[in-house]
Amino acid sequence: MAALLASLLVQAVVAAPAPAPAATVPATAETAPVASADDAADDPAIWRNPRDPARSLVVATDKQAGIHVYNLKGRRVSYTPAPRLNNVDLRSVKGSVVVAASDRADAARAHVSLFRLDTDAGRLAPLGRLPVGPGEAYGMCLWTRARDGALFGFLVMKDGRIDQVAIDFAGTSPTVRLVRSMKLGTQSEGCVADDRTGQFYVAEEDVGLWRFDADPAAPVTGKAVATVDGVRLVADAEGLALAPKGRRGGYLVVSSQGDNAYTLYRLPDMAYAGRFRIDGGAIDGTSETDGIDLMLGDFGPDYREGLFVAQDGDNAPDTQNFKYASWAAIRRALKLR
């Protein structure tokens, strides 16, 4: 019996697929480590300064303690205490930059925490902590509807439920109203919405990627568009980010957390486009990445085509932090057009 079990184990190991090769891209900069130890740094969001791209900012969460704002050199510009913020996203609303974060301070009842980003001082002003519904808030991303500029948030619960909320700033204080709920079968977190096409993407960590129509009047059933197969995408599938090109094209980038890589799919057909790792430079690489963000455009001399930011789950001997990489370097390494 022992010999049979040993043989089956060997067969299982041999049969396990190996992850596909990944190109190597160096980190260009890294942020100051977060203050909290263990699993703390989680998710970044990028704001590009249109007047002076080199003065752009990165907002990122320490899910044990609060939310940071960093400059493009990785220096911490400000810190706002706010326990148990997980994922973060931002949008421009009527001339202001609004930051929204999933709030897990109450594990039984999900909230959204809203802030206004002072882009000159690099500081966050709290706008409110608003209840959404039952469940533990986990993932968070925003969508601006193209036809009327309405702002919506997608709050991904740890059990796979997704609550879509309308976020309204018309009154004296912001309001959040539940407009639709969707459900995936198991633990989910990372998400991103495409403001151009009205498509919403979410990662079910051990299963794969799903796409929904982002409009609240659309069906609540999603379409599976990529699978966690252990080759191109290795569980856990975590952070999602977009590299838009034209009206519908570009790439969807996914954190393939299980093998410390990032997988790209071509839009809109979701064809596999390659994989890369952040490693090999003067700055240490990334591993076990949770959240990512990517924004194309000129960010100054180090990021002429765009900026990619990834959480680093193992920044030993320091606590976790975030690494920056050049989109031009990623594009060249993967021979993307």
Q: Is the Cα dihedral 109, 184, 158, 240 positive or negative?
A: negative
Residue 65 pLDDT > 80? yes
The 10s digit of each residue's pLDDT in 277-298 is 999 999 999 999 999 999 999 9
The 10s digit of each residue's pLDDT in 169-214 is 998 999 999 999 999 999 999 999 999 999 999 999 999 999 999 9
The 10s digit of each residue's pLDDT in 74-111 is 999 999 999 899 999 999 999 999 999 999 999 999 99
Question: What pLDDT is attached to residue 114?
Answer: 98
Question: What pLDDT is attached to residue 15?
Answer: 64
Question: What pLDDT is attached to residue 298?
Answer: 97
Of the candidates 210, 211, 212, 205, the residue with the CA atom closest to the CA atom of residue 233: 205
Residue 231 pLDDT > 80? yes
- Residue written as tokens 């064809």? 271
Q: What is the pTM of this model?
A: 0.95
Distance from C-alpha of 138 to C-alpha of 107, rounded to nearest angstrom: 10
Q: Give the pLDDT mean for 305-330.
A: 98
Which tokens in the block code for residue 98? 């609004």
Residue 297 contacts residue 318 (beta carbons within 8 Å): no
Residue 8 pLDDT > 60? no
Q: How many other CB atoms are found less than 10 A from the CB of residue 320? A: 23
Question: What pLDDT is attached to residue 89?
Answer: 98
Hey, which residues does 325 pair with through a beta bridge?
308
Quickly state the pLDDT bin for 1 (edges 50, 70, 90). Answer: low
Q: How many other CB atoms are found less than 10 A from the CB of residue 269? A: 9
Which tokens in the block code for residue 89? 């996203």
Q: Give the pLDDT mean for 256-285.
A: 97
Average pLDDT, the chain: 95
Quickly state the pLDDT bin for 119 (edges 50, 70, 90). Answer: very high
The 10s digit of each residue's pLDDT in 26-49 is 999 999 999 999 999 999 999 999
Q: Give the pLDDT mean for 319-332.
A: 98
Quickly state the pLDDT bin for 66 (edges 50, 70, 90). Answer: very high
Question: What pLDDT is attached to residue 324?
Answer: 98
Q: How do 261-267 and 175-183 pair as beta strands? A: unpaired
Residue 177 contacts residue 152 (beta carbons within 8 Å): no
Quickly state the pLDDT bin for 6 (edges 50, 70, 90). Answer: low
Q: 41-334 in CATH: which number?
A: 2.120.10.30
Question: What pLDDT is attached to residue 83?
Answer: 87
Which tokens in the block code for residue 57? 């900012």
More confident of the two residues 8 and 266:
266
Domain boundary assignment for the chain: 41-334
Residue 257 contacts residue 227 (beta carbons within 8 Å): no
